[in-house]
């Protein structure tokens, strides 16, 4: 039997001082990094770039990615997300899988990685 595939939504936040262009660029960089992993796909949700003067809800969509992955990619995904969080203070990543979500801001690298791995592993067991 094949491995079950998960569809995970990532919502990225850079802090209150970050603009839409910076968020869009950070999401594009993370998307490239995640595509280098053994994941099925990494896509930006439909909707395209927000126009100038758009509201915060529209800007938040710029920082969203949808990742499809199997259980074998959980550890590598956790490491990439932890590295992304560590690049700049104030970064947050929210992982949503079905009705469950986990939001991570701060903490040690090990703690962040363990949280992500535990959150995803609990949902791949079965």
Cβ-contact 39, 120 below 8 angstroms: no
| CATH number for the domain that contains residue 119 | 3.30.70
The residue segments making up the domain with residue 11 are 5-124
pTM for the model: 0.84
The confidence score (pLDDT) of residue 87 equals 86
Residue 78: is its pLDDT beyond 90? Answer: yes
Residue 54: is its pLDDT beyond 80? Answer: no
In terms of pLDDT, which residue wins out, 53 or 31? 31
The confidence score (pLDDT) of residue 5 equals 84
Q: 4, 12, 68: which is closest to 40 by C-alpha?
A: 68
pLDDT tens digits, one per residue of 17-50: 888 899 999 999 999 999 999 999 999 987 545 5
């Amino acid at each position: 039997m094949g491995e079950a595939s998960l569809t995970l939504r990532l919502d990225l936040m850079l802090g209150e001082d970050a603009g839409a262009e910076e968020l869009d660029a950070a999401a594009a960089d993370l998307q490239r990094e995640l595509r280098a992993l053994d994941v099925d796909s990494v896509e930006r949700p439909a909707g395209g770039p927000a126009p100038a003067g758009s509201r915060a809800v529209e800007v938040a969509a710029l920082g969203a990615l949808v990742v499809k992955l199997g259980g074998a990619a959980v550890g590598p995904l956790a490491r990439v997300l932890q590295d992304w969080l560590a690049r700049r203070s104030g970064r947050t990543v929210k992982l949503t899988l079905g009705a469950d979500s986990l939001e991570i801001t701060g903490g040690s690298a090990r703690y962040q990685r363990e949280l992500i791995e535990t959150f995803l592993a609990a949902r791949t067991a079965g």
